[in-house]
Amino acid sequence: MAQLQLKGKVFYMPGTWGPAVPVQGATVKIIDIDQPGKGDDQIWTGTTDANGNFQGTSSEWQDSTTNRLWVPDWRGGHWETFTVPDITDILVLQARVSQGGHETVLPFVFIGNNIESPPLIVAWGPPPRVLGKVNGVECTSVTAMNDKLKTAIQANSTPITIEVYGLEATALRPLAQAPDQLRTWVRQRLNLPAGAYNPWGGDDVFWVLVGVAIIILAVGASALMIAIGIAIIIAVLKGYKNVNVEQCINVPAGAGDCVKLILAR
């Protein structure tokens, strides 16, 4: 049996994203390189996990050769066909790694069964991190999310759904509370007297306070939080009086935490 127990890991090239960021969801094909004219063999294919790991059992990598031999017997002899491993076929492997339109071919060093091979480093970086979505459209920058929010508000879209991922979503979690608890929380965040959570009067202005609270949360955090806070204030001033905050049901892979804001009239 000339099968191999393969094990390896794939990393992005070092960059601003870090020196050793694993590649998730890449397709890895292990190729056995044969002598010219014999044709190379793909002996394994698989996909990297969230940590860039891949592992599996290859198909037979070593070619075989067929020989005919004269075998003496009581009748005088007969020809027999023998299939044996081709001893001229030595183990030389390549890894073809592809992801999102990128592909590279790298030497693959097989050390031993179930022993992790030296890491494969691809010649590209990770795709831009998706910060969130506006009405189902992915945004990979604060500018993109800000533009999508402005467009949706100006078009009077209803509802406007905003999904926020990662650390910003974690910071927004307190907003996904029952209304009474949320009012108390906003009052405490703004250091308002217990009897008057809304200094301007009228429940309609309450959601402006929610927007202000988001901006307060953003102090020392990210521009994305500030952009969302300002967008909510503008939306409320333009007639969006119903603002709900929910935990996401279907969280995209790699998004981390996820919170959904829904603005409606």
Domain layout of the chain by residue ranges: 5-121, 132-264
pLDDT in tens, 53-77: 999 999 988 777 677 777 787 777 7
Reported as a pLDDT band with limits 50, 70 and 90, residue 109 is very high
pLDDT in tens, 216-257: 555 555 778 778 878 877 887 788 877 777 888 877 766 778
Per DSSP, the three-state class of 205 is helix
Token pair of 190 as six digits: 């703004």
Sign of torsion over alpha carbons 250, 254, 256, 259: negative
CA distance 79 to 100: 54
The angle subtended at Cα 245 by Cα 241 and Cα 248, nearest 5°, is 140
**Strand order through the sheet with 5-11:** 53-57, 5-11, 120-121
Per DSSP, the three-state class of 120 is strand
Residue 219 CB partners (closer than 8 Å, separation 6+): none
The yes or no reply on domain 5-121 and CATH 2.60.40 is yes
